[in-house]
Amino acid sequence: DTGVSQDPRHKITKRGQNVTFRCDPISEHNRLYWYRQTLGQGPEFLTYFQNEAQLEKSRLLSDRFSAERPKGSFSTLEIQRTEQGDSAMYLCASSFSTSGMYEQYFGPGTRLTVT
Amino acid sequence: LAKTTQPISMDSYEGQEVNITCSHNNIATNDYITWYQQFPSQGPRFIIQGYKTKVTNEVASLFIPADRKSSTLSLPRVSLSDTAVYYCLVGASGNTGKLIFGQGTTLQVKP
């Protein structure tokens, strides 16, 4: 399977703990995005990488959130001191910058539950 | 990016054609119209994209009138497996290509 993969698929954590999610994009894609989706809502943009450079961060991304994409391959999203409001599905997507506009390939997501 | 308005939900029966309309009155000259499909517990999936008139692929058709202030996603002969949320997105790729999703339309296909 050469699609976007995310790990873990589910994570349950206690409030105040740190969590880290991983995304492996399609190998030839140079753009990588993180989104967050809560129940009944569409995904919300969090941050964007072109290769290893993080070029945009949403205001939704508080100081407790950090994302990296070392060497322009896989990416990690870390949430420190989790809060119940962080409970959501975290989606990763990738695309190739010269492909059709808005055609992003999404992974299955990581569902985070903060108790 | 242009704001979009689409119905919150729609019901249909197997074998029927389903048309989901999206309004985007403030669409800009260089904006494309794109539709994504999302099944429960999965990430969204690109369905179709267009700029004007009509676009058709193996999954759906997209109709865009001349003024481009609305668009209609047409799904021919739906099946139970087409039950999903459908998102209409409008905007140019810009520098980042980030996607701005609305609430989408939840399509329920009944037997």
Q: Do B44 and A102 touch (CB under 8 A)?
A: no
> Which residues, including other chains, have CB under 8 Å from residue A77's CB and lie 6 or more apart?
A20, A21, A23, A34, A46, A47, A65, A66, A67, A90, A92
Mutate to test the interface with B, among A57, A102, A106 (most CBs of B within 10 A): A102
Tell me: the pLDDT tens digits for A19-29?
999 999 999 89
CA B26/CA A110 separation, integer angstroms: 34
Is it the case that residue A98 has pLDDT exceeding 70?
no
- The three state secondary structure string of chain A is CCCCEEECCEEEECCCCCEEEEEECCCCCCEEEEEEECCCCCCEEEEEEECCEEEEECCCCCCCEEEECHHHCCEEEEECCCCHHHCEEEEEEEECCCCCCCCCEECCCEEEEEC
Query: Which chain B residues touch A4 with a CB distance below 8 Å?
Result: 43
- Residue A3's pLDDT band (boundaries 50, 70, 90)? very high
Is it the case that residue B96 has pLDDT exceeding 80?
no
Q: Do A102 and B104 touch (CB under 8 A)?
A: no
- Residue B95's pLDDT band (boundaries 50, 70, 90)? low
- For A63, the token pair is 């100081």
- B83 in A contact zone (CB under 8 Å): no
